[in-house]
Amino acid sequence: MIRITQQRDKCIGCNACVEAAKYRWRISRKDGKCTLVGAVQKKGFTIF
Ligand code: SF4
């Protein structure tokens, strides 16, 4: 099983994750940071 984690507060909006997996990542129009689609927040990490 593969687990994807993200520290969203450290995202710089470089778009690399979106280019790698467009179905999984989205750049927010509000703050320019990336969101991991379908993930949950836990202790500062986004986990899928
Ligand atoms: S846009 Fe994606 S690859 Fe770039 S810093 Fe944010 S989460 Fe990481």
- Total domains, the chain: 1
Q: Is the CB of 15 under 6 A from ligand 1?
A: yes
Q: CA–CA separation, 48 vs 31, rounded Å?
A: 21
Q: What is the mean pLDDT of the chain?
A: 94
* Whole-number Å distance between alpha carbons of 7 and 9: 6
Q: Is 11 in the pocket of ligand 1 (CB under 6 A)?
A: yes
pLDDT band (50, 70, 90) for residue 44: confident
What 3-state class would DSSP assign to 27?
Answer: strand
Residues 14-31: tens digit of each pLDDT = 999 999 999 999 999 999
Please state the pTM of the whole predicted model.
Answer: 0.84
* Range(s) of the domain holding residue 30: 5-47
Question: In the chain, what is the straight-line distance between the N-terminal and C-terminal CA atoms, in Å?
Answer: 11
Residue whose CB lies within 8 A of the most ligand 1 atoms, among 14, 18, 36, for a mutation test: 14
